[in-house]
Amino acid sequence: MVRPLRNDLELVARQLIPGLSRHGESLKRARIGVLRSPHTGHVDADVACAIEDAVNRIAAGGHAVKEIILPSAFETVCSDHQLINDAEGARSLKYEFESAPEKLSDETRAMIARADSISWEQETSEKTLGRASNPAVDQMFRSVDANCRCELRDSGSRRT
């Protein structure tokens, strides 16, 4: 006997989206959090347009859209993330850089050059600050059913 694919997809969707109604049930009005942060200026124009379009469609569908603005303590989150990314990326590409640097892109070599100026203490400090900020961010998002946000986590404790 063949199971309908729709049932499996519905099961997966309910696991990924807590509170999602079953097929045929009336949809509940969702509360969606939209994060406006220093990241917003670093998004490609096409991506920003797609996000705004999605937000407008969600609101037009009758769902509540709540704008969430991070406090000023989060203004350096992009540069902090870049620092951690450069340091971790340079470590993972160390062998390639030492054995065949000419095969690396200009962007990758620039990342490795930036990482050369980062101390272990500086990287560790940025990771600690990022982890310490998570409870505050979590509290801001408790009033919504779903959201889109970037979490700064070290590679050992990444969540999706």
pLDDT at position 156 over 60 = no
Give a yes or no: residue 134 inside a domain: yes
Instruction: Identify the weakest region by mean pLDDT among 8-12, 53-57, 71-75.
Output: 8-12
* 90 against 134, higher pLDDT: 90
Name the 3-class secondary structure at 141: coil
Containing structural domain, residue 69 = 28-148
* pLDDT reading at 37 higher than 60: yes
Asked if residue 8 is part of any domain, the answer here is: no
pLDDT tier for residue 29 given thresholds of 50, 70 and 90: confident
Give 108-126 pLDDT, tens digit per residue: 989 999 898 899 898 888 8
What's the mean pLDDT in 126-148?
78
Please indicate, yes or no, if residue 7 is contained in any of the structural domains. no
In the chain, what's the furthest Cα-to-Cα distance?
62
- Give, in degrees to the nearest 5, the angle at Cα 40 between 111 and 123: 35
Q: Is the pLDDT of residue 159 over 70?
A: no
pLDDT tens sequence across 146-155: 765 544 333 3
Q: In the predicted model, is pLDDT for residue 7 greater than 60?
A: yes
Which residue reads 């993330």 in tokens? 81
pLDDT exceeds 60 at position 158? no
User: Residue 84 domain-assigned?
Assistant: yes
HSE (CB half, 13 Å, CA atoms) of 48? 9
Q: What is the number of structural domains in the chain?
A: 1
In a domain, residue 44? The reply is yes
- Look at residue 3 and tell me if it is in a domain: no
- Inside any domain, residue 155: no
pLDDT bucket at 19, cuts 50 / 70 / 90: low
The single-letter code of the amino acid at 113 is A
Q: pLDDT value at position 42?
A: 65
- The burial class, CB within 10 Å (0-12 / 13-18 / 19+), for 87 is buried
Residue 159: inside a domain:
no
The answer for 71, left when phi > 0, alpha when psi is -120 to 50, beta otherwise, is: beta
